[in-house]
Amino acid sequence: MTAPRVRFAPSPTGYLHVGGARTALFNWLYARRTGGVFVLRIEDTDKERSTDAHTQVILDGLSWLGITWDEGPYFQGACADRHRTDAEWLLAAGHAYKDFLTSDELDAERAKAKALGAPFRYERAKCDLPAAERARREAAGLPYTVRFAMPQEEIAWDDAVHGRISWQGSDLDDFIILRSDGSAIYNMAVVSDDIAMRITHVIRGDDHISNTPKQIALYQALGHEPPVFAHVPMILGTDGKKLSKRRAAAAVGDYQDLGILPAAMRNFLALLGWSPGGNEEIIPQTEMIARFSLEHIQKKAAVFDPIKLEWMNGQYLSLLPVVELLDPVQRQLEMLGVSTGRDLAPLIDAVKARSRTVTHIAEQIAVRLDATRIVRDAKAEQLIAKLGDRFAVNLKLAHESLAACDAVNWHAAFLEGILKQLAESFGAKLGDVMQPIRIALTGGTVSEPVPELLTAVGRDESLTRIAGAIPG
Ligand code: GLU
């Protein structure tokens, strides 16, 4: 058996939608699982809406996700001659015919169907012109479209996800394959390309199911075996509606900006509609490839839960060596307008275990580097109210003890000893000493252990922040 050939065929008419990225991922996983070939084809035939910038966004998004293609990108627009040749072959072989109806005449046919309360379907027997009129228009060189003569028989396939799907040819119309300007329409172009690119498996969104019988009919008329079709489920938001840019981030680039790691995004996307069979959620890439199969893709729509994505990202973050976070955190800090100029590794190390995204890490580091970014949160205000006078007293005492510590001894183990001793000598609870310092340094009540926080912020800056936080 020859190795499978699959393709991802996005239209560059917008950003890379998470649904598209998931389709690309499934194709890529299938190719990697089977030793097949993953082809990238940019379907840029909609000249008005396709742009080079969109193509670039798609290529960048795939690269960011680590989805590498083996062939392409091919551009559908560059294959227009072959699409036309294939359509003309169908015409010559009698599988298609010229339609000389003008758009007004076509509208009149539609109106007729509407008046009868029937859905409009172009059927040659009902819509075609009388033979003499056709001949007259042809002889006069009037424009025409080319329509495919839909076979009046059952068209069925064994979908790798949905099982047997069958349509009656009589429910499908004689669809246009060539416009009057000689350009091929979508179904013709896709089939012509998939044949030329020897695609064996078409893995795509189930919004394409209604195109599939038309495409299978084209394959048969062109004398080619149709590929295996696998229609993957839609992705819905947690509100049960289609993901849209307005309600949630729907573009892959948005998640990159939000500080999601590509490995986490890949893992998350893979589980939107596929499951390895067990309950595992964190599946490393090599395992994902080893276990991927079309049989384990579900039929029902998948739900995109951003909270789960953040959780998953947190899992990946905690496993990632700090050195791999240096560049992404640096980039996020630049986006936040924070100048760094010091080794970020210890800062990242201190906060990463409690973080869910790279952005979250960068935001915490920004506060550690720049006191103007401290914002007191509600929990901090509550605690200050609860501690009453002890807040000021404990901060003052802490300031005194810490000020006695010189820069050489300013490291977590030593600082911990100082603060413990301080709490003991006054019979104070350790937390009542630590929390005011945490509030002084970050504005909040949650952080890495306070001795590490003091090290991250540095001696002089910590003392300034503590002094500045003492009320009165
Ligand atoms: N270009 C089509 C789209 O963006 C995909 C075509 C296909 O996968 O067959 O939806």
130 assigned to some structural domain = yes
Same domain, 259 and 310: yes
The pLDDT, as a whole number, for residue 18 is 93
Identify the residues whose C-beta falls under 6 Å from ligand 1. Answer: 9-11, 43, 190, 204, 208
Name the residue type at position 357.
T
Whether residue 222 lies inside any domain: the answer is: no
What's the gap in Å between 126 CA and the centre of ligand 1?
Answer: 31
Residues 93 and 171 in one domain: yes
Model pLDDT, residue 113: 84
Residue 194 within any structural domain of the chain: no
Please, what is the angle between helix 430-442 and helix 358-369, to 10°? 90
Report which residue type is found at 219.
Y
Asked if residue 198 is part of any domain, the answer here is no
- The CATH number that applies at residue 100 is 3.90.800.10
Q: What angle do CA 362, 366, 368 make, to 5 degrees?
A: 120
- Judge if the upstream peptide bond of residue 73 is cis by omega within 30 degrees of 0: yes
Residue 447 sits in the same domain as residue 461: yes
> Do both 358 and 332 map to the same domain?
yes
Same domain, 401 and 465: yes
* 379 and 467 assigned to the same domain: yes
Q: Which helix (H) or strand (E) holds 38?
A: strand 37-42
Name the residue with the closest Cα to ligand 1, atom 10.
Answer: 10
Q: What is the pLDDT of residue 27?
A: 98
State which residues form the domain around 408.
Answer: 374-472
Give residue 124 CA to ligand 1 midpoint distance, Å: 28
In a domain, 196, yes or no: no
Domain limit, last residue, from 285, 319, 353: 319
Q: Is the dihedral of CA 294, 298, 299, 304 positive or negative?
A: negative
Question: Could you tell me the distance, in angstroms and rounded to a whole number, from the CA of residue 224 to the centre of ligand 1?
Answer: 20
Domain stops at, among 298, 319, 340: 319
pLDDT over 90 for what percent of the chain?
82
Mean pLDDT rounded to a whole number for the chain: 94
Q: Looking at residues 402-410, what average pLDDT do you find?
A: 96
Domain match, 145 and 171 both: yes
Whether 359 and 383 map to the same domain: the answer is no
Say how many domains are in the chain: 4
Cα-to-centroid distance, 215 and ligand 1 (Å): 12
Task: Report the largest interatomic distance among the alpha carbons of the chain, rounded to a whole angstrom.
Answer: 110
Within-domain flag for 395: yes
Residue 208 clears pLDDT 90, i.e. is over it: yes
Which residue puts its alpha carbon closest to atom 6 of ligand 1?
A: 9
| Helix, strand, or coil (residue 129) | coil
Nearest atom, ligand 1, residue 215 CA:
9
Cα distance between the two ends of the chain: 82
Residue 258 falls inside a structural domain: yes
**One domain, residues 270 and 324:** no
Tell me, yes or no, whether 20 and 90 share the same domain.
no
- With respect to residue 265, please indicate whether it lies within any of the assigned structural domains: yes
Q: Tell how far the Cα of 51 is from the centroid of ligand 1, in angstroms.
A: 16
Q: Which domain CATH number covers 383?
A: 1.10.10.350
pLDDT beyond 80 at 470: yes
What does the pLDDT look like over 413-434, one tens digit per residue?
Answer: 999 999 999 999 989 999 999 9
Which of 335, 370, 405 is the C-terminal boundary of a domain?
A: 370
Residues 334 and 395 in one domain: no
* pLDDT value for 246: 56
